[in-house]
Amino acid sequence: MLGVHLSVLLLLLPACLQAARILAVFPFPGPSQYINVVPYLKTLASRGHQVTSINAFPQKKLVKNFRDIPIPEVFNNYDEIINKLADPMNLWLENNFVNKFFVDITRSVLANKEVTETLLPPGKDHYDLIIVEALRSDAYYGFAAHFNAPIIGISTFGTDWNIDELVGNVSPISYTPLVTAGFTDRMTFGERVSNFVDTTIAWVNYKLVHMPEQEKLYEKYFPIASKRVPLNELNRNFSLVLLNQHFSLSFPRSYVPNMIQVGGLHISHKPAALPKDLEEFVQGSGTHGVIYFSLGSNVKSKDLPAERLQLILKTFATLPQRVLWKFEDDQLPGKPENVFISKWFPQPDILAHPMVKLFITHGGLLSTIESIHHGKPVLGLPFFYDQFLNVKRATQAGFGLGLDHKTMTEQEFKETIERLVKEPRFAEKARQMSDRYRDQPMTPLDTAIWWTEYVLRHKGAYHMRVAGQDLGFFAYYSLDVIAALLAGALLILTVTLGLIWKIAKITGLGNTKNKQKTQ
């Protein structure tokens, strides 16, 4: 449904807009974050805008109106960081660790030679719009002040307390769990306590440890002091935030008007036929069907502990289905007949294939959205970050099950696969999720383009900004009002008590001493 309307709707978008110069900043070293926005950036370019994109995955072919500024520096020890993230840490240290990672990425962007030589020198370049990955990289939000241009943020996983602050959105922590917590919107009392404490720790760590580092970077790299704006004003002044989320994928909740859901932004193509060898292998599965197994682009299944690999291999060997396994090596010793390995698969085309019955996934958001889009049940083996949450949501929604890849036994793995393939309710639920998700007035990509150009047409669309962004902490939470009312109440109480005391004295009531004397 979505794919068919795409081209028609793009033609309907207002075309009278002047072409703009757009600076996009998406330096995160994990490929899926960039994959998520490339169709959006390229569509902007195809609509006549000049796009300069700072990123870690430059285009292989020349794209019209599209210039890459590659930041390969962000790959320094990325693998190490990913492996470390999977280790348990206390929450304060984990926040330090993650925030330092983002400070390093921010520094890589601002210290990059092409950035310092072609973008930042006074008068060298100009932009009409800045689009950034909103990922705790406040210093590079400084491009907005530097170029005096409105700024749009894109968040690949949805919102949290940090993204909320950019536009003054509110996420009640009673039903919005921290992305990393692995809770759903329906939390027990214990989970709510944990969510409250964890959110507070993350917030305090951000303000005390992270922001001073970002301030330093901002002052160091943006050369025109007179154009610098305090970072805590810049990061409350976003024109728009696009969220890679949708209520049909997660849970219903409220957003301010300049926070727009575009979950599945990257799904823009019509499913293509599979390569010949792959199609033959899939067809060879007969009525049993095919299972697709991929741990995404960050976790490499070839690096799993040998004993875990053996367990997976042995399980697959006993299945009647055939298995497509995204495996990052040419050789997989002991690979059974019914398993096909490849370093890369056309994932959306595979998920669209009617003979694919199950997706065994790490539970990354993009994979989860693709699975829902194509209506396929999932078996989640989460590793880190939001993956636990995504798998839990799949379980809660009823189109998937999750296992702990570190501790699962062969029997558990096999039984879970069998349940997901055999019990029809999982496939039915996946189809229902797909129907709900696809039933939208515009595709996520069209929606994103429309709102982006809306910001251009209305010169930053400042009229969408909620007034709360200009209030201080005490005024925002009405603490000043509460304090004034309490003080007033206290005053009235004091005066009333004083009066009663006076009246009592005048009328002689309560003067027990006198009474006793007269008796």
Ligand X SMILES: *[C@@H]1O[C@H](CO)[C@@H](O)[C@H](O)[C@H]1NC(C)=O
Residue closer to ligand X (CB basis): 98 or 152: 152
Q: Which residues of 110-147 are buried (b: 16+ CB within 10 A; e: fewer)?
A: bebeebeeebbeeeeeebbbbbbbbbbbbbbbbbbbbb
| Helices 410-422/306-317 angle, 10° precision | 40
C-alpha 150/C-alpha 141 separation (Å) is 10
Gyration radius of the chain over CA positions:
28
d(CA 394, CA 420): 12
CB 244 within 8 A of CB 264: yes
Separation of alpha carbons 108 and 112, rounded Å: 6
Shortest distance, CB of residue 145 to ligand X, whole angstroms? Answer: 6
Q: Judged by CB under 6 A, which of 145, 154, 179, 274 binds ligand X?
A: 145
**How many residues at the interface with ligand X, by CB under 6 A?**
9
DSSP-assigned letters across all residues of 50-96: EEEEEESS--SS--TTEEEEE-GGGGTTHHHHHHHHTS---HHHHHH
**Site membership for ligand X, residue 237 (CB under 6 A):** yes
Judged by CB under 6 A, the stretch of 54-62, 230-238, 330-338, 356-364 that binds ligand X is 230-238
Which span (55-63, 234-242, 271-279, 429-437) binds ligand X, by CB under 6 A?
A: 234-242
Sign of the C-alpha dihedral computed for residues 387, 264, 260 and 66 taken in this order: positive
Q: Which is nearer to ligand X, 433 or 461 (CB)?
A: 461
- The residue range among 229-237, 332-340, 470-478, 495-503 that interacts with ligand X, by the rule CB under 6 A, is 229-237
Please identify, using beta-carbon distances, which residue of 223 and 488 lies nearer to ligand X: 223
Answer yes or no: are the C-beta atoms of 49 and 20 closer than 8 Å: yes
Q: Please report how close the Cβ of residue 22 comes to ligand X at its closest, in angstroms.
A: 14
- Rounded CA-CA distance 126/270 in Å is 36
The site string for ligand X over 409-448 (x = CB under 6 A, - otherwise) reads ----------------------------------------
CB 221 within 8 A of CB 444: no
Inter-CA distances, 221 with 67, 70, 119, 206, 216, Å? 22, 18, 11, 21, 9
Minimum distance between the CB of residue 240 and ligand X, rounded to whole angstroms? 11
Cβ 227 to ligand X shortest distance, Å:
10
- Does 233 participate in binding ligand X (rule CB under 6 A)? yes
Binding mask of the shown chain, residues 90 to 129, with x at each position contacting ligand X by CB under 6 A: ----------------------------------------
Query: In this chain, which stretch among 56-64, 79-87, 227-235, 475-483 interacts with ligand X, using CB under 6 A?
Result: 227-235
Close Cβ partners of 367 (under 8 Å, ≥ 6 residues apart): 294, 296, 347, 359, 361
- Using CA atoms, how far apart are residues 31 and 33, in angstroms rounded to an integer? 6
Q: CB of 301: closest distance to ligand X in angstroms?
A: 45
Find the distance separating the first CA and the last CA of the chain, reported in whole Å.
98
- Residue 21 Cβ vs ligand X, minimum distance, rounded to whole Å: 15
For residues 151 and 295, which CB has a smaller minimum distance to ligand X in the complex? 151
Q: What letter represents residue 124's amino acid?
A: K
**Residue whose C-beta lies closest to ligand X:** 460
Binding residues for ligand X restricted to 450-479, rule: CB under 6 A = 460, 462
Q: Residue 50 or 469: which CB sits closer to ligand X?
A: 469
Identify which of residues 84 and 236 has a Cβ nearer to ligand X in the complex.
Answer: 236
Nearer CB in complex with ligand X: 375/460: 460
Of residues 237 and 258, the one with the C-beta less far from ligand X:
237
Residue 407, classed as helix, strand or coil, is: coil
CA 9 from centroid of its chain's CA atoms:
26
Does position 142 bind ligand X by CB under 6 A? Answer: no
Burial per residue of 423-448, b for 16 or more beta-carbon CB atoms within 10 angstroms, e otherwise: eeebbebbbbbbeebbebebbbbbbb
DSSP string, 161-176: HHHHHHHT----TTT-
Residue nearer to ligand X on the CB measure, 343 or 459: 459
Indicate the residue among 234 and 381 with the shorter CB distance to ligand X. 234
Query: Which of 9-17, 232-240, 379-387, 430-438 is the region at the interface with ligand X (rule: CB under 6 A)?
Result: 232-240
Nearest distance in Å: CB 204, ligand X? 24
Question: Amino acid identity, residue 70?
Answer: P
CB of 218 to ligand X, least distance (A): 13
| Among residues 71, 234, 324, 421, the one that binds ligand X under rule CB under 6 A | 234
Residue among 104 and 215 whose Cβ is closer to ligand X: 215
Our CB check for ligand X shows the closer of 85 and 464 to be 464
Binding footprint of ligand X on the chain (CB under 6 A)? 145, 150, 229, 233-234, 237, 239, 460, 462
